[in-house]
Amino acid sequence: MAQDNSPNKTTPVNHRRSRTKFTQDQLKILIKAFDKNPYPGYATKQKLALEANTEESRIQIWFQNRRARHQKKSEPDEDLESSQDQDHLEEEIQSREDRRSRTNYTSLQLHALIEAFSNNPYPGFDSREQLAKEIGVPESRVQIWFQNRRSRFHAQRKSEPDDGDLEQRQDQEQDL
């Protein structure tokens, strides 16, 4: 496997995951799949990960970035598919492939996640991976869990009874 994990690097404790460098061969595979379907399901992404010898989570990120940047580049003229277009207003085709099956966390795992979250809602890659190893789930699931948790946590902010004199501003003291 081409997993290089240089541990001797001044210990970048809480950093993001190192950049993945795709080869031309890998990009060829990904681009071809993207042209075929920009919204691959989990099975397709896993197949691509195997074929390109990378991780499924990297495939996911790559497709997200690709959609955001290479979305509608051409003009929408030759986009129409002639036949097969009888009625598309009520019965929408769920073209989406199957997504990854839901992860079921045990109370023990949840406990560890919640505790880690209270310590640091923004764990870096190393922290995420360590935690993932401890509770026995993939790091990508840990990352998703933190994203969802933060989203819900931030939402609580709205039902705060302010005392009128509390003028709030966006204080993003994001220490790093």
Partner DNA sequence: CCTAATCTGATCATAACCATTATGATCAGCTCATTAGG
Contacts with DNA, residue ranges (CB under 7 A): 15-22, 27, 39, 41-42, 58, 60-69, 71, 94, 96, 98-105, 122, 124-125, 141, 143-152, 154-159, 176
Alpha carbon 156 to its chain centroid, in Å, reads 23
Q: Which is nearer to DNA, 121 or 134 (CB)?
A: 121
Q: Which is nearer to DNA, 39 or 134 (CB)?
A: 39
User: Rounded to the nearest whole angstrom, what is the least distance from the CB of residue 153 to DNA in the complex?
Assistant: 8
Instruction: Give the span between the Cα atoms of 107 and 153, in whole angstroms.
Output: 19
Cβ proximity to DNA: between 67 and 134 the closer is: 67
34: alpha, beta or left, given left = phi > 0 and alpha = psi -120 to 50?
A: alpha
Give min distance, CB of 18 to DNA, in A.
6
Closest approach of DNA to the CB of residue 2, in Å: 13
Phi-psi map region of 164: left, alpha, beta (phi>0 left; psi -120 to 50 alpha): left
Shortest reach from residue 6's CB to DNA, in Å:
10
Distance in angstroms (rounded) separating the CA atoms of residues 140 and 151? 17
* Residue 82 or 104 having the CB closest to DNA: 104
User: In the complex with DNA, which residue's Cβ is closer, 36 or 152?
Assistant: 152
- Provide φ and ψ at 138, rounded to 5°: -65, 150
Q: How far is the CB of 54 from DNA (least distance, A)?
A: 9
End-to-end alpha carbon distance in the chain: 32
Joined together, the tokens standing for residue 60 give: 């996911």
